[in-house]
Amino acid sequence: MQDMSTHGAGDRGNPRAAAADGLEGVVAARTTLSDVNGHEGRLTIRGYSVEELAGNTSFEEVAYLLWHGTLPKRSELDGLLETLAGYRRLPEETRGAIELAARRMGPIDALRFATASLTCDDPNPEDESPEANLERGAKLLARVPVIVATYQRLRSGQPPVEPREDLGIAANYLYGLSGREPDPAKVKGLDTYLVTVSDHGMNASTFTARVIASTASDMVSAVTGALGALKGSLHGGAPGPALEMIEAIGTPERAEAWMRDAVAHGHRLPGFGHRVYKVRDPRAEVLYQAAVALADETGEQRALELAREVERVGVQVLAEAKPGRNLNTNVEFYTALLLRELDLPRDLFTPTFAVGRTAGWTAHVLEQQATGRLIRPQSEYVGPYDTSFVPIDQR
């Protein structure tokens, strides 16, 4: 009997390593962008802990850090802000795509559809120099939030709001959604969130972007592919269910009974557990602090008190029901609370995540393009060999 594990990728008899399901433990790239230490609960972005960056730097500063490797000086940040302001106006073709999407598509489909059209005003699509690709990355960073806000306005039966040159990405996004001067406390909360989710190692959407970039495809195609990966509920779709759970529990007193019943019936508790982190997700603490700061400004403390109790009970119940699994709070838990307090519709939670992750996606594309190396993994073939062919009229 043949050992099927010695055959792979069409090369019979050529030994291959056995497949790692889900690429678990496989190192797919070397990167200087971010490091996720799941055992210690640390997220490092270009040398800085996420706790050090979030709340102390703007989203634009972190985008600059991801692209260039250093935090910007004042003159460099001013130059980036001016550049982004000049890129926010959407091409007419993209506006048309959003109008169509607002009538027929959900938010993440609409964002993917409209983003794919952003190649239409590229002055020189054949130019694959680092400078040209950095410009494309800046355009995407400027335009993705405008696409989401424009879509939301149109599907709500309201006219789009033109971006303002004097507002940064977070403030413009809130302004574009509501048409009103954004509350500084909410701008701060959103800016902290965007920094927190800007990059996170070799996650599914980032890997997708790097694979596309490795084929010598373009920046817009890579980010469009990343959005396709983000649509899946196992990657980008969980903040909504986490919020639904918190709202269903309703009061701190109901948390323990509700969550014990859910676990007893085999239901997953959204906002808990992570593929990499074996301790509390460090982004959860950052977003918790952002929610505290926002609640201090708005005076809305009840939702925060409920969330704290749900978190405490959830960790305890899961530890008892699933010992050794280390199912701690993840980024989705306080994302749900924070984005709701920013008055975002819950089906915009994932597109809002994409606004922040665009910084990381574009940085990874730039890094991958610099290597010039095609990502081409092997597969482990587990099917039959030497099957006898039978003509169609004899089958």
**pLDDT in the model for residue 103:** 96
Q: How many domains does the chain contain in total? A: 2
**pLDDT in the model for residue 8:** 41
CATH number at residue 292: 1.10.230.10
Q: Considering the chain, what is the average pLDDT of its residues?
A: 90
169 and 243 assigned to the same domain: no
- The Cα–Cα gap between 358 and 222 comes to 11
Asked whether residue 1 carries a pLDDT value surpassing 90, the answer given is no
In this prediction, residue 114 has a pLDDT band, given cuts at 50, 70 and 90, of very high
- The Cα–Cα gap between 360 and 143 comes to 15
**pLDDT in the model for residue 17:** 63
**pLDDT in the model for residue 92:** 97
Of the two residues 37 and 222, the one the predictor is more confident about is 222
Residues 379-386 have a mean pLDDT of 91
Percent of the chain at pLDDT > 70 equals: 93
Catalytic residue of the set 60, 274, 311, 341: 274
188 and 266 assigned to the same domain: no
Q: pLDDT tens-digit profile of 300-354? A: 788 889 988 999 999 999 999 999 888 888 888 888 889 989 999 989 999 999 9
Asked whether residue 242 carries a pLDDT value surpassing 90, the answer given is no
**pLDDT in the model for residue 380:** 85
What range defines the domain where residue 268 resides?
239-341
**pLDDT in the model for residue 3:** 39
Query: What is the 3-class SS of the chain, one letter each residue?
Result: CCCHHHCECCECCCCCCCCCHHHCCCCCCCCCCEEEECCCCEEEECCEEHHHHECCECHHHHHHHHHHCCCCCHHHHHHHHHHHHHHCCCCHHHHHHHHHHHHHCCHHHHHHHHHHHHHHHCCCCCCCCHHHHHHHHHHHHHHHHHHHHHHHHHHCCCCCCCCCCCCCHHHHHHHHHHCCCCCHHHHHHHHHHHHHCCCCCCCHHHHHHHHHHHCCCCHHHHHHHHHHHHCCCCCCCCHHHHHHHHHHHCCHHHHHHHHHHHHHCCCCCCCECCCCCCCCCHHHHHHHHHHHHHHHHHCCCHHHHHHHHHHHHHHHHHHHHCCCCCCCECHHHHHHHHHHHCCCCHHHHHHHHHHHHHHHHHHHHHHHHHHCCCCCCCCECCCCCCCCCCCHHHC
Query: Tokens representing 394?
Result: 């004899």
**pLDDT in the model for residue 116:** 97
Q: Of the given ranges (14-18, 99-103, 142-146, 149-153), which has the lowest mean pLDDT?
A: 14-18
Residues 183-202 have a mean pLDDT of 95
197 and 270 assigned to the same domain: no
Catalytic residue of the set 332, 341, 364, 367: 332
**CB burial string 208-244: b at 16+ within 10 A, e below:** bbbbbbbeebbbbbbbbbbbbbbbeeebbbbbbbbbe
Assigned domain for 1 exists: no
Query: Tokens representing 90?
Result: 């959407």
Residues 154-160 have a mean pLDDT of 97
In this prediction, residue 41 has a pLDDT band, given cuts at 50, 70 and 90, of confident
Annotated active-site residue 285? The verdict is no
39 and 141 assigned to the same domain: yes
**pLDDT in the model for residue 237:** 59
CATH number at residue 201: 1.10.580.10
244 and 225 assigned to the same domain: no
Annotated active-site residue 7? The verdict is no
Assigned domain for 390 exists: no
290 and 150 assigned to the same domain: no
Could you tell me which residues are beta bridge partners of residue 43?
36
Could you tell me which residues are beta bridge partners of residue 272?
329
Residues 6+ apart with CB under 8 A from 389: none
75 and 43 assigned to the same domain: yes
285 and 217 assigned to the same domain: no
Assigned domain for 6 exists: no
Asked whether residue 167 carries a pLDDT value surpassing 80, the answer given is yes
**pLDDT in the model for residue 14:** 52
Assigned domain for 22 exists: no
220 and 258 assigned to the same domain: no
Of the two residues 26 and 382, the one the predictor is more confident about is 382
313 and 364 assigned to the same domain: no
